Amino acid sequence: MLSYQHGFHAGNFADLHKHLVLSMLLEALNKKAKPWSYFETHSGRGYYDLSSEQAQKTGEYLDGVAKLWGKDQSALVNGYLDRVKELSLGEQLTAYPGSPMLAAMAARADDRLHLMELHPQEIAELKRAMRRFSQVGVHHRDGYEGVLGLLPPKPNRGLILIDPAYEVKDEYLQVADFVAKSLQRWPNAQLAVWYPLLSADRHEAMLTKIAATTESVGLYDSRFIVAEPQERGMYGSGMLLINPPWQIDQQIENELPKVLEQLDAQAPELVTNWIRRSA
Protein backbone atom coordinates (compact mmCIF):
# COMPACT_ATOMS: atom_id res chain seq x y z
CA MET A 1 0.00 0.00 0.00
CA LEU A 2 1.19 3.51 -0.80
CA SER A 3 -1.32 5.74 0.98
CA TYR A 4 0.92 6.70 3.93
CA GLN A 5 2.64 10.08 3.84
CA HIS A 6 4.80 11.06 6.78
CA GLY A 7 4.25 14.80 6.33
CA PHE A 8 1.22 14.57 8.62
CA HIS A 9 3.36 13.16 11.44
CA ALA A 10 6.83 14.71 10.98
CA GLY A 11 8.42 15.84 14.23
CA ASN A 12 5.95 14.05 16.49
CA PHE A 13 6.87 12.09 19.64
CA ALA A 14 7.64 8.94 17.64
CA ASP A 15 10.07 10.87 15.44
CA LEU A 16 11.79 12.16 18.58
CA HIS A 17 12.32 8.60 19.77
CA LYS A 18 13.42 7.25 16.39
CA HIS A 19 15.66 10.16 15.48
CA LEU A 20 17.38 10.54 18.85
CA VAL A 21 18.24 6.83 18.83
CA LEU A 22 19.35 7.15 15.20
CA SER A 23 21.56 10.09 16.20
CA MET A 24 23.19 7.88 18.84
CA LEU A 25 23.80 5.11 16.29
CA LEU A 26 25.33 7.53 13.77
CA GLU A 27 27.49 9.11 16.47
CA ALA A 28 28.79 5.66 17.39
CA LEU A 29 29.63 4.88 13.75
CA ASN A 30 31.51 8.17 13.44
CA LYS A 31 33.73 7.37 16.43
CA LYS A 32 35.85 5.25 14.10
CA ALA A 33 37.63 6.68 11.05
CA LYS A 34 36.65 3.69 8.91
CA PRO A 35 33.76 4.58 6.54
CA TRP A 36 30.27 3.12 6.90
CA SER A 37 27.25 2.19 4.79
CA TYR A 38 23.71 3.26 5.67
CA PHE A 39 20.51 1.78 4.27
CA GLU A 40 16.89 2.79 4.75
CA THR A 41 13.95 0.68 3.60
CA HIS A 42 11.21 3.33 3.78
CA SER A 43 12.87 6.71 3.42
CA GLY A 44 9.99 9.13 2.94
CA ARG A 45 10.85 12.53 1.54
CA GLY A 46 13.76 13.40 3.83
CA TYR A 47 12.65 16.99 4.44
CA TYR A 48 9.35 18.23 5.86
CA ASP A 49 7.97 21.76 5.75
CA LEU A 50 6.18 22.30 9.06
CA SER A 51 4.14 25.15 7.57
CA SER A 52 2.67 22.73 5.00
CA GLU A 53 -1.01 21.83 4.91
CA GLN A 54 -0.19 18.29 6.06
CA ALA A 55 1.81 19.36 9.12
CA GLN A 56 -0.64 22.09 10.07
CA LYS A 57 -3.65 19.78 9.72
CA THR A 58 -2.47 17.47 12.50
CA GLY A 59 -0.08 19.73 14.42
CA GLU A 60 1.65 16.64 15.78
CA TYR A 61 5.05 18.34 15.82
CA LEU A 62 3.70 20.74 18.45
CA ASP A 63 3.61 17.85 20.93
CA GLY A 64 6.99 16.57 19.74
CA VAL A 65 10.02 18.52 18.58
CA ALA A 66 8.40 21.88 19.41
CA LYS A 67 8.38 20.91 23.11
CA LEU A 68 12.19 20.74 23.07
CA TRP A 69 12.71 23.95 21.12
CA GLY A 70 14.51 26.80 22.87
CA LYS A 71 15.24 24.87 26.09
CA ASP A 72 18.50 23.80 27.72
CA GLN A 73 19.31 20.29 26.54
CA SER A 74 22.04 17.67 26.73
CA ALA A 75 24.84 17.64 24.16
CA LEU A 76 23.13 14.81 22.26
CA VAL A 77 19.74 16.53 22.07
CA ASN A 78 21.39 19.84 21.17
CA GLY A 79 23.23 18.11 18.33
CA TYR A 80 19.93 16.75 17.01
CA LEU A 81 18.23 20.14 17.37
CA ASP A 82 21.14 21.81 15.57
CA ARG A 83 20.29 19.67 12.53
CA VAL A 84 16.68 20.81 12.75
CA LYS A 85 17.77 24.44 13.08
CA GLU A 86 20.03 24.13 10.05
CA LEU A 87 16.98 23.27 7.94
CA SER A 88 14.75 25.81 9.64
CA LEU A 89 17.26 28.55 8.74
CA GLY A 90 16.92 30.37 12.02
CA GLU A 91 15.54 30.21 15.52
CA GLN A 92 11.96 29.62 14.39
CA LEU A 93 10.88 25.99 13.95
CA THR A 94 9.76 25.79 10.31
CA ALA A 95 11.19 22.51 8.94
CA TYR A 96 12.02 19.01 10.10
CA PRO A 97 14.62 16.51 8.81
CA GLY A 98 13.57 12.94 8.16
CA SER A 99 15.95 10.12 8.98
CA PRO A 100 17.60 10.19 5.51
CA MET A 101 18.50 13.83 6.04
CA LEU A 102 19.86 13.21 9.54
CA ALA A 103 22.02 10.37 8.21
CA ALA A 104 23.23 12.42 5.23
CA MET A 105 24.12 15.34 7.48
CA ALA A 106 26.14 13.00 9.71
CA ALA A 107 27.93 11.29 6.81
CA ARG A 108 31.56 11.93 5.98
CA ALA A 109 33.11 12.02 2.51
CA ASP A 110 33.78 8.26 2.29
CA ASP A 111 30.52 7.07 3.88
CA ARG A 112 27.76 5.73 1.62
CA LEU A 113 23.96 5.98 1.91
CA HIS A 114 21.36 3.94 0.00
CA LEU A 115 17.79 5.20 0.38
CA MET A 116 14.74 3.23 -0.78
CA GLU A 117 11.30 4.74 -1.40
CA LEU A 118 8.42 3.37 -3.48
CA HIS A 119 5.80 6.16 -3.16
CA PRO A 120 5.86 8.23 -6.41
CA GLN A 121 5.37 11.60 -4.71
CA GLU A 122 7.74 10.90 -1.84
CA ILE A 123 10.56 9.67 -4.10
CA ALA A 124 10.47 12.89 -6.13
CA GLU A 125 10.79 14.98 -2.96
CA LEU A 126 13.49 12.67 -1.58
CA LYS A 127 15.60 13.10 -4.71
CA ARG A 128 15.22 16.86 -4.43
CA ALA A 129 16.21 16.85 -0.74
CA MET A 130 19.29 14.68 -1.33
CA ARG A 131 20.71 16.56 -4.33
CA ARG A 132 23.46 18.24 -2.35
CA PHE A 133 24.86 15.01 -0.88
CA SER A 134 27.28 13.20 -3.20
CA GLN A 135 27.47 10.14 -0.92
CA VAL A 136 23.76 9.33 -1.30
CA GLY A 137 22.04 6.98 -3.72
CA VAL A 138 18.24 7.25 -3.99
CA HIS A 139 16.37 4.20 -5.29
CA HIS A 140 12.73 4.08 -6.46
CA ARG A 141 12.07 0.48 -5.49
CA ASP A 142 10.65 -1.80 -2.82
CA GLY A 143 12.68 -1.25 0.33
CA TYR A 144 13.13 -4.86 1.37
CA GLU A 145 14.05 -6.16 -2.08
CA GLY A 146 16.20 -3.10 -2.79
CA VAL A 147 18.32 -3.29 0.35
CA LEU A 148 18.80 -7.06 0.14
CA GLY A 149 20.00 -6.66 -3.44
CA LEU A 150 22.84 -4.41 -2.26
CA LEU A 151 24.11 -6.60 0.59
CA PRO A 152 26.83 -7.12 1.66
CA PRO A 153 27.97 -3.56 1.01
CA LYS A 154 31.25 -1.74 0.73
CA PRO A 155 32.09 -0.21 3.18
CA ASN A 156 31.25 -3.33 5.20
CA ARG A 157 30.32 -1.70 8.52
CA GLY A 158 27.12 0.21 9.02
CA LEU A 159 23.42 0.36 9.70
CA ILE A 160 20.03 -0.52 8.23
CA LEU A 161 17.02 1.50 9.40
CA ILE A 162 13.69 -0.28 8.94
CA ASP A 163 10.63 1.88 9.58
CA PRO A 164 7.61 0.97 7.45
CA ALA A 165 4.16 2.46 8.01
CA TYR A 166 2.72 -0.94 9.08
CA GLU A 167 -0.40 -0.21 7.05
CA VAL A 168 -1.07 -3.92 6.58
CA LYS A 169 -1.01 -6.56 9.31
CA ASP A 170 1.55 -8.84 7.68
CA GLU A 171 4.15 -6.04 7.55
CA TYR A 172 5.31 -7.01 11.05
CA LEU A 173 6.29 -10.53 10.01
CA GLN A 174 7.67 -9.21 6.73
CA VAL A 175 10.05 -7.06 8.79
CA ALA A 176 11.10 -10.11 10.83
CA ASP A 177 11.84 -12.06 7.63
CA PHE A 178 13.84 -9.13 6.25
CA VAL A 179 15.94 -8.90 9.42
CA ALA A 180 16.89 -12.58 9.22
CA LYS A 181 17.78 -12.34 5.51
CA SER A 182 19.81 -9.16 6.05
CA LEU A 183 21.92 -10.77 8.77
CA GLN A 184 22.54 -13.81 6.59
CA ARG A 185 24.05 -11.54 3.93
CA TRP A 186 25.64 -8.96 6.25
CA PRO A 187 26.27 -10.58 9.67
CA ASN A 188 28.05 -7.60 11.26
CA ALA A 189 25.33 -5.08 10.32
CA GLN A 190 23.59 -3.01 12.93
CA LEU A 191 19.83 -2.86 12.36
CA ALA A 192 17.25 -0.53 13.88
CA VAL A 193 13.57 -1.49 13.61
CA TRP A 194 11.02 1.19 14.45
CA TYR A 195 7.49 0.05 15.26
CA PRO A 196 4.29 1.67 16.59
CA LEU A 197 2.84 0.78 19.97
CA LEU A 198 -0.83 0.04 19.30
CA SER A 199 -3.41 -1.71 21.46
CA ALA A 200 -3.46 -4.73 19.13
CA ASP A 201 0.16 -5.50 20.16
CA ARG A 202 1.09 -6.97 16.78
CA HIS A 203 4.68 -5.91 17.38
CA GLU A 204 5.07 -8.67 19.96
CA ALA A 205 4.84 -11.42 17.32
CA MET A 206 7.44 -9.56 15.25
CA LEU A 207 9.88 -9.33 18.16
CA THR A 208 9.36 -12.99 19.03
CA LYS A 209 10.04 -14.04 15.44
CA ILE A 210 13.16 -11.88 15.20
CA ALA A 211 14.53 -13.44 18.39
CA ALA A 212 13.75 -16.93 17.07
CA THR A 213 15.28 -16.44 13.62
CA THR A 214 18.50 -14.71 14.64
CA GLU A 215 21.30 -16.24 16.66
CA SER A 216 24.00 -14.77 18.88
CA VAL A 217 23.27 -11.12 18.02
CA GLY A 218 22.28 -8.67 20.72
CA LEU A 219 18.66 -7.49 20.75
CA TYR A 220 17.89 -4.34 22.74
CA ASP A 221 14.37 -2.90 22.82
CA SER A 222 13.24 0.56 23.94
CA ARG A 223 9.66 1.82 24.19
CA PHE A 224 8.89 5.52 24.38
CA ILE A 225 5.40 5.65 25.90
CA VAL A 226 3.29 8.82 26.06
CA ALA A 227 -0.22 7.56 26.92
CA GLU A 228 -2.21 4.63 28.21
CA PRO A 229 -3.10 2.02 25.54
CA GLN A 230 -6.14 3.17 23.62
CA GLU A 231 -8.52 1.71 21.07
CA ARG A 232 -7.31 3.96 18.26
CA GLY A 233 -3.92 5.47 17.56
CA MET A 234 -0.42 5.05 18.92
CA TYR A 235 0.22 5.21 22.63
CA GLY A 236 3.97 5.01 22.12
CA SER A 237 6.91 4.22 19.89
CA GLY A 238 9.24 1.21 19.86
CA MET A 239 12.81 0.75 18.61
CA LEU A 240 14.50 -2.63 18.43
CA LEU A 241 18.27 -2.49 17.99
CA ILE A 242 20.03 -5.54 16.55
CA ASN A 243 23.81 -5.79 17.02
CA PRO A 244 23.68 -2.49 18.97
CA PRO A 245 26.90 -0.57 19.64
CA TRP A 246 28.57 -0.70 23.03
CA GLN A 247 26.88 1.32 25.81
CA ILE A 248 23.99 2.60 23.68
CA ASP A 249 21.65 1.12 26.28
CA GLN A 250 23.13 3.45 28.90
CA GLN A 251 22.83 6.39 26.53
CA ILE A 252 19.15 5.66 25.80
CA GLU A 253 18.34 5.16 29.47
CA ASN A 254 20.10 8.41 30.44
CA GLU A 255 18.79 10.64 27.65
CA LEU A 256 15.23 9.63 26.78
CA PRO A 257 13.58 10.00 30.22
CA LYS A 258 14.65 13.67 30.23
CA VAL A 259 13.08 14.13 26.79
CA LEU A 260 9.85 12.45 27.89
CA GLU A 261 9.60 14.80 30.87
CA GLN A 262 9.43 17.79 28.52
CA LEU A 263 6.52 16.50 26.42
CA ASP A 264 3.76 17.00 29.02
CA ALA A 265 2.51 13.57 28.01
CA GLN A 266 -0.45 11.81 29.61
CA ALA A 267 1.49 8.78 30.87
CA PRO A 268 5.20 9.16 30.06
CA GLU A 269 7.38 6.10 30.52
CA LEU A 270 10.54 4.65 29.02
CA VAL A 271 10.61 0.84 29.04
CA THR A 272 13.85 -0.88 28.01
CA ASN A 273 14.79 -4.53 27.75
CA TRP A 274 17.70 -6.65 26.62
CA ILE A 275 15.80 -9.40 24.81
CA ARG A 276 19.17 -11.06 24.27
CA ARG A 277 22.70 -9.92 24.94
CA SER A 278 25.25 -10.75 22.28
CA ALA A 279 27.11 -14.01 22.69
Q: Active-site residues: which are they?
A: 163
Please give the Cα distance from 83 to 76 (Å, whole number): 11
List Cα–Cα distances, 89 to 14, 36, 49, 69, 154, in angstroms: 24, 29, 12, 14, 34
Please give the Cα distance from 76 to 114 (Å, whole number): 25
Please give the Cα distance from 207 to 221 (Å, whole number): 9
* Helix boundaries (H) for 140-270: 143-148, 171-185, 203-213, 248-261
Contact 122, 5 (CB under 8 A): yes
For residue 120, how many other CB atoms are within 10 A of its CB? 9
First to last CA, the chain: 38
- Orientation angle between helical segments 248-261 and 75-88, nearest 10 degrees: 70
